[in-house]
Structure 1
Amino acid sequence: MAQAGRDQLDIMQPDTTFRTLWREYRRERFRSELVSDWAVAVLYRLPSLWLVARLVPTGMSPTAVTLAALPVALAMPLAALLLPPGGAALATVLLAVAFQILDCADGGLARATGRSSSKGAALDFVIDMAQWGLFYTSIGIVADRMAGTDEGTGLFWTVVAVAAAWLRLYARVVRDARPASVAPGTAAPLGHSAQGGFVVLAERALAGMSGALPIFFGIAALAGAVPAMVVFVLLYALLDVADAVWTSFRNWPDARA
């Protein structure tokens, strides 16, 4: 009787082994995420599922994983400021990658255990946005330190990076403010024309590039071109704002309809 009860319990509990989680992800979400967030799908989803498979038996909550990512984000500017410049760049890259994996893992853990909540999602959003501000600032700090002189490191690249971070957050606010869908009888998004298809692909590539920025930063640090990385994130943030504004107005219900 006891064995039958255990067998029934095993049937009721979902299989959360890494192999099963990876198989389900490839079947249900890989294609859609590759379209909407390609860098996450390619770089971080696999290690995050490995982490989820090991967290499920511990009973750790998704919110605890989200909170665990906060000190990782806060450590980035400290590493950029306190470590030797070369070590600061490497540490910032590793911390940024670790954050991305944890950011994927909390959602994966919520789906695997059925413990998702609106409060957890809100907390995840707040910490995620803070992370981007801290990461961009860290890039600027490393750039200033690498370009520093005996008289001081200066703050030029840090200020530029902070401006890029502000633009990045502004783009997210604009996207969140746009209508969820286009009302019937109003102007629709671009169709399946060649031009429309190109625009859609460009938007998806731009949106999905965000998760690859830590890798780009690592490449820039190895090449000794961290200031160029600051310029890149500034241009990326400007393109992100332009895309957010354009998409919002393109999909906004037409008042004349």
Structure 2
Amino acid sequence: MELLTPAVRVLQVVVPVAGLLISTITLIQVRRHRGLFYALPACVSLKGVGGGSTLAPEVVRKARAVAEPRLLLISLRVRGMKDIRADDFSKGEPLVLGLGARVVMVVTVDAAGASKPDVRKAGTTLEIQPSLLRRGKRLLLHVLVDGPKPALTCEVSPLADVRVRPAPADEPGPIVRWAPTAGLVGAFLTAARYPDGHITGWPLVGVIASLVCIWILAVVWIGKLIRKFGEVRDLKRRLGSETT
């Protein structure tokens, strides 16, 4: 049993502490670098939409006039410690998003209380003109398109020092997932070795690190679920019961 002691110590202390440090450093790095994440959380067909819909009459009229009407919910979110300013757009060029379908109209632009950017349609693309995009704020665009399979891409980015890319998956990244798992292993082994609960020294450090790791995972998951729920609820509220 003594031969296993070093391995047990590693699982009790080194693994959870290393997981906590790696997760913390990763999250700090993510916050330090500015990023603009785009996503297409909802795409709803408006075929057969009627006058009883809560959509504006102009939207209903234009949806009836095209073959494959779809209402898209596009989400843009700035991540990092600083806002994206209008001056960050190189030579005043717009950010161009491809939708993979002809843009019929920009229905709404919701900047969560911040100033709304100028968003223009151009064929199958949207052009977001130079403007202030607040960090931590989610910009929601409701766009009516004509096409069977819309897809969101970034075609042109004039933001030299901002990483523009698809939003990460709704689940935490591998490192953030690994850290709480390591924490659970360490906590379990520590509890088995100290059933009376009197934990001191380095094992206690491991237990604290384990709990913090688990807390990190909970915060990440809850934050993502809240954002996802808000986006879907907002789209349903705008579409009304006929298109939900």
* TM, length-normalised to structure 2: 0.31
Q: Which protein has the larger Cα radius of gyration, Structure 1 or Structure 2?
A: 2
Higher share in strand: 2
Higher relative contact order (CA closer than 8 Å, sequence separation 6+): 2
Higher share in helix: 1
